[in-house]
Amino acid sequence: MPLMTTKPMFDLAYDGGFAVGAFNVNNMEITQGIIEACAAEKSPLILQISKGARKYANMIYLRHIILAAVEQYPDLPIAIHLDHGDTVDLVQTCIKDGFTSVMIDGSHHAYEENVKISAEAVKVAHAAGVTVETELGMLGGIEEDVVGMDAHEYEKNVEKFLTDPEQAKDFWKRTGCDSLAVAIGTSHGAFKFKHEAKLAFDRIEAIMKTCPGLPLVMHGSSSVPQEFIDLVNKYGGSMPNAKGVPEDQIAMAVQKYGVCKVNIDTDLRLALTAKIREVFATKPAEFDPRNYLGPGREAIISMVRRKLHVLNSAGKAEAVNKHWEKLGKPLPGYYKK
Ligand code: G3H
Ligand code: 13P
Ligand code: ZN
């Protein structure tokens, strides 16, 4: 039953030239699409759940959908992770709900407050055997909304929001986190760059130097495939100027600069939405959900399979399982009841 924390995954990813894909799940079809792709490619994976997903789907359903996947593919290394947890209370609830990993995102707070809530989250999570991701720096998209700045302003001033390498060192030391989400020019959503799409590779390199051994996480890493944008725009949608992180830059961040976890949500949403729009537009009489959610799920499978090659995680499941066994098959307390 290789349900695990992120530790066995990141131990190998750190200098193994691959990253683990962290995919956001909100319902059964999305989860199945991700799982089928990872099973076909024998890739470890992280299924992540946001506060919004918990609210939408109800955690009881999401947990059982994920445990069904674990039962269906017992050899697939899977972590259940909280995405952008905003309070220690939520972290605690997720630990009780069987998450194997959590994120506490205090990046919108002042530095000292971020240190404080992150260290607190690490304390409660580690006591339960759960790994913790924290965040330092500010991404565009969702996070700039917090301070009321538009995407264009963010992009113009991006340098000042990037993670500071010296501060990252202090932050890691004081929080004891297991991985760190860094701001390196990405943003959430489908409109990441108004101008040239460009990651701050020098910043990743600098943080790797000040924080050797700390797995780095890239949020906002959807590539916004043009084929989906074209379908959306062709079949009644309107997403002009949608732009993601080019896949060659993601591959470089992972394979050359050592990023260990890559977060993808928007591409899943786009795949599903594009296919549903296509079915509705080309078959106006269609009303069986299986006939539009099914093609959406298929599109997710092929998109994720391709992504696993960009992340170079295809074929790494067995090595992760072996490492997990070597570590003594650690699992959070929840599963030892
Ligand atoms: O980074 C955020 C994820 O894309 C989750 O988005 O809060 O709408 O579920 P959500
Ligand atoms: P995207 O919006 O680029 O898919 O990023 C998702 C993410 O970072 C989830 O935490
Ligand atoms: Zn994110």
Average pLDDT score over residue span 256-273: 98
Q: What is the DSSP letter of 57?
A: H
From 233, 153, 141, select the one nearest 190 (Cα to Cα): 141
Q: In terms of pLDDT, which residue wins out, 150 or 83?
A: 83
52 CB within 6 A, ligand 1: yes
pLDDT at 159: 80
pLDDT band for position 151 (50/70/90)?
low
pLDDT > 90 in the chain, percent: 89
Average pLDDT score over residue span 281-291: 98
Over residues 195-229, the pLDDT tens digits come to 888 899 999 999 999 999 999 999 999 999 999 99
Of 144, 262, 265, 273, which is best to mutate to test ligand 2, by the most ligand atoms within 8 angstroms of its C-beta? 265
List C-alpha distances in Å: 51 to 83, 89, 188, 269.
7, 12, 15, 17
Please state the atom number of ligand 2 nearest to the C-alpha of residue 84: 10
Q: Is the Cβ–Cβ distance between 173 and 115 less than 8 Å?
A: no
Residues 265 and 218: their CA atoms lie apart, in Å, by 12
Enumerate the active-site residues: 83
Query: 150: which 2 tokens?
Result: 């538009």
Residues 10 and 93: their CA atoms lie apart, in Å, by 24
Residues 101 and 113: their CA atoms lie apart, in Å, by 22
Over residues 188-202, the pLDDT tens digits come to 999 998 888 889 999
pLDDT at 154: 72
Expressed in angstroms and rounded, the spacing between residue 265 Cα and the centre of ligand 1 is: 7
pLDDT at 146: 45
> Domain residues of the chain, as ranges?
7-336
Q: What angle do CA 310, 47, 72 make, to 5 degrees?
A: 100
pLDDT band for position 155 (50/70/90)?
confident
Please, is 240 exposed, middle or buried when counting C-beta atoms within 10 Å of its C-beta (0-12, 13-18, 19+)? exposed
The residue nearest atom 3 of ligand 1, judged by CA position, is 265
pLDDT at 150: 65
Over residues 30-59, the pLDDT tens digits come to 999 999 999 999 999 999 999 999 999 999
Residue 248 has pLDDT above 60, yes or no: yes
Instruction: Reply yes or no on domain 7-336 having CATH 3.30.360.10.
Output: no
Residue 1 has pLDDT above 70, yes or no: no
- Please give the mean pLDDT across all residues of the chain: 95
Expressed in angstroms and rounded, the spacing between residue 52 Cα and the centre of ligand 1 is: 7
Of 20, 23, 24, 249, which is best to mutate to test ligand 2, by the most ligand atoms within 8 angstroms of its C-beta? 24
Expressed in angstroms and rounded, the spacing between residue 57 Cα and the centre of ligand 2 is: 19
pLDDT > 70 in the chain, percent: 96
Residue 140 has pLDDT above 80, yes or no: no
Residue 114 has pLDDT above 80, yes or no: yes
Please, is 169 exposed, middle or buried when counting C-beta atoms within 10 Å of its C-beta (0-12, 13-18, 19+)? middle
3-class secondary structure, 140:
strand
Residues 282 and 91: their CA atoms lie apart, in Å, by 44
